[in-house]
């Protein structure tokens, strides 16, 4: 079948996931985010050229401390964990078009170039003596309302020890640019369709001027010499600037709901300060949880292996509740996911294959109802495109399953098994089914081409979905 969508390709969209922090090995939450981004990219590629950009955040005290604990060098530890991430990408057949990291030479050169203009942008970046509580474990400064005095005579934030810091640092003057950022969101210049407006404006208004450096060269990261002072760039800002140094146009970011506030505020502020093109979309995805707790490197997740998330299972994650609620991985029902595919698609393909084998098909007189069914299936492309913009992939899959069920009902209603004068209906139903199957390709993979071919030649003994998890 000739793909008529080829002529619609105009723009190239660059799709980013959050850079993976290489202080430890990647976990299943990283894989979940990668798979969502991969499926999104494959659906977007039906209409546009797309790139999926993945990378690593290689600096910070977390990398330096963990490397010291195991008797290694920070660069060796970050390279080891980056390779682990690349291994996962290859293993689960995720199509990546570019790799960026904060230790790449191109990023460091571009970053120094940006900060060479600091005199021109001094109203947005300023130096100030700062004192406050610093949380080394997460490399962030903490508000006074989050600090507690523990039983072992230590000040802590969320159960982790903090240290008091007094030093001169570089700050982003967020307050001076906040109104412009809010205006950009209100004008829909940056789209955040799955972030509620009230939540968005609360995040924008609550953000304050932020420290982006450490004066003491304690951190493992990029060193900045500004005037007579030396600084280490804060690891979180380093990661945000890595995006801006990559592909410049039509950026789409897919990030977890715990860090999206940072991308909505300070990332946009940095882009405005350094005169870099703004992203088109910033999407928020939900958490993957184990026993009610978000999966992360800080938890012992050895009981949750990658084998519990086979590549095709993203169908189940996205079609059930992946778009709106956090997902409890211990409640995943692999058998249900596979039976859904077999019952909805496998059953339909097998029935049509057997009917084509028995009767063949050819174009003849097409009824109005057949024609409307055909138009309805073609209209789904517009609906899918709309769902994709809204980041509602679960609704895309729900729509496709409903359409396949509708074809199944038509076969039963018209009793095609007993009616010999059905070749024109088989022609319509088989081509609609082929079209629906082609829209499942981002989930199922290239096996869809074989399924469509076997259906049209009437190979009804071919069972396409039994071994889909072994693709």
SS (H, E, C) the chain: CCCHHHHHCCCEEEEEECCEECCCCCCHHHHHHHHHHHHHHHHHCCCCEEEEEEEEECCCHHHHHHHHHCCCCHHHHHHHHHHHHHHHHHHCCCCCCEEEECCCHHHHHHHHHHHCCCCCCCCCEEEEEEEEEEECCCCEEECHHHEEECCCCCEEECCEECEEEEEEEEEECHHHCHHHHHHHHHCCCCECCCCCHHHHHHHHHHCCCEECEECCCCCCCCEEEECCEEEEECHHHHHHHHHHCCCCCCEEEEEECCCHHHHHHHHHHHHHHCCCCCCCEEEEECCEEECCEECCCCCCCCCCCHHHCCHHHHHHHHHHCCCCCCEEHHHCCHHHHHHHHHHHHHHHHHHHHHHHHHHCCCCCCCCHHHHHHHHHHHHHHHHHHHHHHCCCHHHHHHHHHHHHHHHHHHHHHCCCCCCCCCHHHHHHHHHHHHHHHHCCHHHHCCHHHHHHHHHHCCCCCCCCCCCHHHC
Residues 30 and 101 in one domain: yes
Residues 381 and 298 in one domain: no
Report yes or no on 251 lying in a domain.
Answer: yes
Report yes or no on 154 lying in a domain.
Answer: yes
Which of these three, 276, 309, 342, is where a domain ends?
Answer: 309
Residue 337 above 70 pLDDT? no
Q: What's the confidence (pLDDT) of residue 202?
A: 94
Residues 272 and 346 in one domain: no
Report yes or no on 321 lying in a domain.
Answer: no
Report yes or no on 317 lying in a domain.
Answer: no
Which domain range does residue 196 map to? Answer: 4-309
pTM (two decimals): 0.83
Task: For residue 353, give the CATH number of its domain.
Answer: 1.10.730.10
Residues 385 and 438 in one domain: yes
Residues 369 and 268 in one domain: no
Task: For residue 252, give the CATH number of its domain.
Answer: 3.40.50.620
Residues 271 and 399 in one domain: no
Report yes or no on 323 lying in a domain.
Answer: no
Report yes or no on 438 lying in a domain.
Answer: yes
- Per-residue pLDDT of 167-215, as tens digits, reads 888 888 999 999 999 999 999 999 999 899 999 999 999 998 888 887 6
- Per-residue pLDDT of 96-155, as tens digits, reads 999 999 999 999 998 888 888 776 777 788 888 878 888 877 777 787 778 888 777 788
Residues 269 and 389 in one domain: no
Count: domains in the chain? 2
Residues 51 and 177 in one domain: yes
Residues 255 and 345 in one domain: no
Q: What's the confidence (pLDDT) of residue 409?
A: 84
Residue 295 above 80 pLDDT? no
Q: What's the confidence (pLDDT) of residue 468?
A: 44
Report yes or no on 187 lying in a domain.
Answer: yes
Report yes or no on 319 lying in a domain.
Answer: no
Residues 219 and 367 in one domain: no
Residues 220 and 303 in one domain: yes
Residues 355 and 253 in one domain: no
């Amino acid at each position: 079948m000739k793909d008529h969508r080829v002529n619609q390709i105009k723009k190239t969209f660059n799709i980013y996931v959050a850079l993976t922090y290489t202080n430890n090995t990647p976990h299943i939450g990283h894989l979940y985010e990668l798979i969502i981004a991969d499926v999104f990219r494959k659906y977007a590629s039906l209409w546009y050229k797309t790139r999926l950009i993945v990378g690593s955040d290689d600096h910070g005290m977390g990398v330096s401390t963990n490397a010291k604990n195991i008797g290694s060098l920070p660069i060796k530890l970050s390279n080891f964990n980056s390779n682990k991430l690349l291994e996962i990408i290859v293993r689960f057949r995720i199509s990546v078009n570019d790799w960026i990291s904060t230790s790449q030479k191109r990023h460091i050169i571009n970053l120094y170039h940006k900060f060479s203009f600091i005199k021109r942008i001094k109203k947005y970046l300023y130096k100030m003596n700062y004192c406050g509580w610093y949380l080394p474990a997460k490399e962030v400064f903490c508000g006074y309302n989050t600090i507690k005095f523990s039983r072992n005579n230590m000040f802590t934030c969320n159960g982790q020890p903090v240290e008091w810091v007094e030093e001169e640092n570089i700050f982003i003057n967020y307050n001076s640019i906040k109104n412009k950022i809010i205006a950009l969101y209100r004008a829909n210049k940056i789209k955040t369709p799955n972030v509620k407006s009230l939540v968005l404006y609360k995040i924008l208004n609550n953000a304050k001027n932020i420290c982006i450096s450490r004066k003491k060269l304690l951190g493992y990261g990029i060193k900045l010499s500004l005037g007579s002072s030396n600084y280490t760039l804060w690891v979180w800002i380093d990661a945000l600037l890595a995006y801006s140094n990559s592909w410049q146009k039509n950026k789409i970011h897919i990030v977890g709901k715990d860090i999206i506030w940072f991308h909505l505020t300070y990332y946009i502020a940095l882009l405005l300060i350094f005169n870099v093109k703004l992203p088109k979309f910033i999407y928020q995805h939900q958490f993957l949880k184990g026993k009610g707790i978000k999966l992360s490197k800080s938890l012992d997740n050895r009981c949750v292996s990658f084998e519990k998330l086979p590549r095709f299972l993203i169908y189940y994650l996205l079609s059930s509740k992946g778009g709106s609620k956090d997902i409890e991985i211990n409640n995943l029902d692999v058998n249900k996911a596979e039976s859904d595919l077999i019952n909805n698609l496998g059953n339909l393909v097998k029935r049509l294959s057997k009917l084509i084998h028995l009767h063949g098909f050819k174009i003849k007189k097409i009824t109005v109802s057949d024609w409307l069914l055909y138009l309805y299936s073609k209209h789904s492309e517009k609906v899918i495109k709309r769902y994709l913009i809204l980041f509602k992939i679960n609704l895309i899959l729900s729509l496709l399953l409903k359409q396949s069920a509708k074809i199944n009902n038509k076969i039963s209603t018209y009793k095609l098994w007993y009616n010999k004068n059905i070749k024109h209906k088989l022609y319509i139903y088989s081509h609609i089914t082929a079209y629906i199957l082609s829209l499942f390709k981002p989930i199922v993979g290239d096996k869809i081409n074989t399924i469509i071919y076997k259906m049209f030649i009437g190979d009804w003994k071919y069972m396409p979905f039994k071994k889909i998890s072994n693709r």
